[in-house]
Amino acid sequence: MKRTLGTCYYPEHWPEQMWQADAARMVDTGLTWVRIGEFAWSRLEPTPGDLQFDWLDRAIDVLGAAGLKVILGTPTATPPKWVVDKHPDMLAVDANGHPRKFGSRRHYCFSHQGYRDECRRIVTLLAERYGANPHIAAWQTDNEYGCHDTTVSYSDAACREFRNWLAQKYQSPDALNRAWGNVFWSMEYTDFDQIDLPNLTVTEANPSHHLDFLRFSSDQVVSFNRLQTDILRKHTDAPLIHNYMGRVLDFDHFDVGADLDIASWDSYPIGFLSDRLEATDDHKTRFLRQGDPDMQAFHHDLYRAVGRGRWWIMEQQLGPVNWAPYNPAPLPVMARLWAWEAFAHGSEAVCYFRWRQAPFAQEQMHAGLLRPDNEPAPALAEARQVADEIETLPDTGTATADVALIFDYPSAWAWQVQPQGADFDYFRLTFAFYKALRVNGLNIDILPSTTADLSTYKLVLAPGILSLPDALITALTQFDGTAILGPRTNTKTPNLSIPTPLGPNIPCLDARITHTESIPPSADIPLENGRMVHWFEHLEGAADVALKTKTGAAAMVRNSGLHYLAGWPDPDTLTDIIKTACAREGISTHTLTDGLRLRNTATHRFIFNYAPDAAKWGDTDIPAAGVHWEPLV
């Protein structure tokens, strides 16, 4: 596997006379890739039809001539003002019914046909002009789908398309009424055109209505992206990529990824710890300048699955950013740790965002490899160090994993629609399971719920997947390792109703959930050994009890290796459960504490120290933010 570095560059932000020196300096830094163009529409077409591609031709020439490979972005995340003036109703609408105005980015509704036509036009022009350009070695569609809550729009355009989507899916209003249970509260429709979007209802909308709207919204992202890939495929053989974000769950990345060649993501460890992770103040303070020790790895593993093995980091944090509640600087050498961790998880490329800090506009406080005055920022030397190390470290082969974790976007939507507990969240649950695996030092594969073959794994976890596909149920039933399902797994129909027989309804496992409890943070359910928090399910059935509450109720049941866990264990309890399962399967574990984390490749073990203090790995001292690797024996 070839490991490469890159950066994100905006030639349109700088005088043309700087381009050549920038390109040479990128090469000097050891970079291979340069991403350009993804926000440049107003420079490519300042007014309707006035195409200005010459500057981009020259920029690509300069960069390519210096030996860099160019990733060209389609500019559809930032339509110029004239596009919006031409299609005033293309703006997305928020849940309060307010149009989300021009003046930043991602100001479009995925469902607007007029805007889709504009996208078709500009992407076709770009594909025709640059599809065969030898310097263009990859394409990026749009930018960070879903960022700033932009997947879901309550616009008229979305309403029209949602009705069409429902008509396609259900064929008749009566079928829809039955599927949603609209007899409840007289919500029945006699015509698809009666159906509104599920915002601003008096109390919550029908959860099936809401869930279908979220499914539809995800499908709109998929078809919007496919519109672009269909055009690009006609004109280029270069790989097509999109840059996903962290903890954005409101469209199905597996579905979008199916139309792309490589998955990439934008990794901002420090920003994400600050703005999108549940954690104690102590945890957030300890990892303030490093990021959560598992957040990056989780997304590496997730997007490796989305990319069917091929994945990149398209934007790697390298200094303070501008957009989190608080924006500290990374510890020295963190930009190196983050890159090596990505490589250890199989990334083909890590592109630092961005080349030079822009002195103007929204991201002026977002650090780059260079400062606004063109002097090196601290991360420039770290990038050079990584480039040198790539040269010296032999390829470490493709990693394997004994453990798989199933991840399912529709479950995230269903949990959001109907959490049943105020602090309930599918990502939070799944990430807790992932953390417990990591604390045991395990390599993990994340798999989609469409998986039908688990035979290469010894331990499979499927927490919180509300509705298991038949093929996965079959695979689980035939699996001869240890599987742990639950909580909530397979307890709903795909339309978000309660099935009969009651869940989890797995063949061979005689267990039914009779009723459930959501529990406030001040309370818990003590187990014989450990405790459940947030959630507990009461089970009936003849399955063996593998774990009990203090009062003797079943907390986990099983039939041979197939387990159902009837609640949300706290971190220590979950770590123990996984350790026990690993022991049963002969998987060796390493109990890691604090910020130390492992990742094995085919030939090497990598150890990363996320802590702000030095740590011991065997006899080896690993400094704060340190990376250590050693051959696997």
Span 584-613, contacts to its own copies by CB under 8 A = none
Which residue's CB atom is positioned nearest to Zn ion?
A: 147
- 3-state secondary structure at position 625: coil
- Of 131-139, 401-409, 477-485, 508-516, the window that binds its own copies (rule: CB under 8 A) is 508-516
- 3-state secondary structure at position 361: coil
Using CB under 5 A as the binding rule, the residues of this chain from 143 to 182 that contact Zn ion are 144, 147
Q: Is 278 in the site for its own copies (CB under 8 A)?
A: no
Binding mask 119-148 for Zn ion (x = CB under 5 A): -------------------------x--x-
Q: What is the DSSP letter of 500?
A: S
Q: What is the dihedral of CA 566, 571, 573, 577, to 10 degrees?
A: 80
- 3-state secondary structure at position 8: strand
Among 134, 359, 397, 507, binds its own copies (CB under 8 A): 359
Q: Is 86 in the site for its own copies (CB under 8 A)?
A: no
* Count of residues in contact with its own copies, rule CB under 8 A: 111
Among 61, 156, 196, 576, binds its own copies (CB under 8 A): 196
**186 vs 455, beta carbon nearer its own copies:** 186
DSSP strand pairing (627-631 vs 604-609): antiparallel
Among 519, 544, 548, 585, binds its own copies (CB under 8 A): 519
Which residues make beta-bridge pairs with 565?
A: 556
**62 vs 83, beta carbon nearer its own copies:** 83
- 3-state secondary structure at position 442: coil
Q: Is 324 in the site for Zn ion (CB under 5 A)?
A: no
Closest CA to 334 of 59, 608, 534: 608
- Minimum Å gap between C-beta 547 and its own copies is 19
**361 vs 542, beta carbon nearer its own copies:** 361
- Minimum Å gap between C-beta 98 and Zn ion is 5
Say if CB 145 and CB 244 are below 8 A apart. yes
Say if CB 244 and CB 264 are below 8 A apart. yes
Binding mask 437-476 for its own copies (x = CB under 8 A): ----------------------------------------
**325 vs 631, beta carbon nearer its own copies:** 325
Out of Zn ion, its own copies, none, what residue 394 binds, judged by CB under 5 to 8 A for its kind, is none
**18 vs 147, beta carbon nearer Zn ion:** 147
- Of 56-64, 88-96, 134-142, 278-286, the window that binds Zn ion (rule: CB under 5 A) is 88-96
Say if CB 611 and CB 288 are below 8 A apart. no
**What's the first-to-final CA gap in the chain, in angstroms?**
21
Among 247, 284, 531, 590, binds its own copies (CB under 8 A): 284
Cα–Cα distance, 619 to 610 (Å, whole number): 18
**85 vs 395, beta carbon nearer its own copies:** 85
Cα–Cα distance, 29 to 152 (Å, whole number): 40
- Of 101-109, 111-119, 158-166, 479-487, the window that binds its own copies (rule: CB under 8 A) is 101-109
Out of Zn ion, its own copies, none, what residue 549 binds, judged by CB under 5 to 8 A for its kind, is none
Say if CB 157 and CB 88 are below 8 A apart. no
Cα–Cα distance, 74 to 131 (Å, whole number): 12
144 is catalytic: yes
Sign of CA dihedral 595, 441, 430, 579: negative
Backbone angles phi, psi at 175, to 5 degrees: -60, -40
Say if CB 479 and CB 561 are below 8 A apart. yes
**36 vs 592, beta carbon nearer Zn ion:** 36
- Of 40-48, 65-73, 114-122, 343-351, the window that binds its own copies (rule: CB under 8 A) is 40-48
- Kindly report the number of other CB atoms within 10 A of residue 510's CB atom: 14
Q: Which of 315, 348, 382, 537 is catalytic?
A: 315
Cα–Cα distance, 393 to 375 (Å, whole number): 29
Angle of helix 378-392 relative to helix 19-29, nearest 10 degrees, comes to: 50
**147 vs 324, beta carbon nearer Zn ion:** 147
Out of its own copies, Zn ion, none, what residue 411 binds, judged by CB under 5 to 8 A for its kind, is none
375 is catalytic: no
Q: Is 18 in the site for Zn ion (CB under 5 A)?
A: no
Q: Give the angle subtended at the CA of 307 by the CAs of 33 and 257, to the nearest 5°.
A: 105
Among 105, 233, 276, 590, binds its own copies (CB under 8 A): 105
Out of Zn ion, its own copies, none, what residue 156 binds, judged by CB under 5 to 8 A for its kind, is none
Question: Which two tokens mark 166?
Answer: 């429902």
Out of its own copies, Zn ion, none, what residue 267 binds, judged by CB under 5 to 8 A for its kind, is none
Among 7, 74, 78, 449, binds its own copies (CB under 8 A): 78
Binding mask 468-487 for Zn ion (x = CB under 5 A): --------------------
Cα–Cα distance, 438 to 435 (Å, whole number): 5
DSSP strand pairing (136-140 vs 69-73): parallel
- Minimum Å gap between C-beta 46 and its own copies is 7
- Minimum Å gap between C-beta 273 and its own copies is 10
* DSSP E strand boundaries for 268-329: 311-316
Among 164, 362, 529, 620, binds its own copies (CB under 8 A): 362
Q: Which of 38, 45, 118, 144 is catalytic?
A: 144
Using CB under 5 A as the binding rule, the residues of this chain from 358 to 417 that contact Zn ion are none
Q: Is 87 in the site for its own copies (CB under 8 A)?
A: no
List CB contacts of 607: < 8 A, sequence separation 6 or more.
596, 597, 598, 617, 620, 622, 627, 628, 629, 630
List CB contacts of 565: < 8 A, sequence separation 6 or more.
463, 484, 485, 486, 487, 547, 555, 556, 577
Using CB under 8 A as the binding rule, the residues of this chain from 366 to 405 that contact its own copies are 367, 371-373, 375, 377-378
**144 vs 255, beta carbon nearer Zn ion:** 144
Closest CA to 440 of 593, 299, 569: 593
Cα–Cα distance, 116 to 109 (Å, whole number): 9
Radius of gyration of the chain (CA): 25
Around 524, how many Cα atoms within 13 Å sit in the side-chain half-sphere?
13
Among 65, 175, 200, 508, binds its own copies (CB under 8 A): 200
Among 30, 421, 469, 494, binds its own copies (CB under 8 A): 421
Among 392, 455, 522, 593, binds its own copies (CB under 8 A): 522
- Minimum Å gap between C-beta 94 and Zn ion is 9
**361 vs 633, beta carbon nearer Zn ion:** 361
Say if CB 409 and CB 415 are below 8 A apart. no
Active-site residues, by number, are 144, 315
Binding site for Zn ion (CB under 5 A): 96, 144, 147
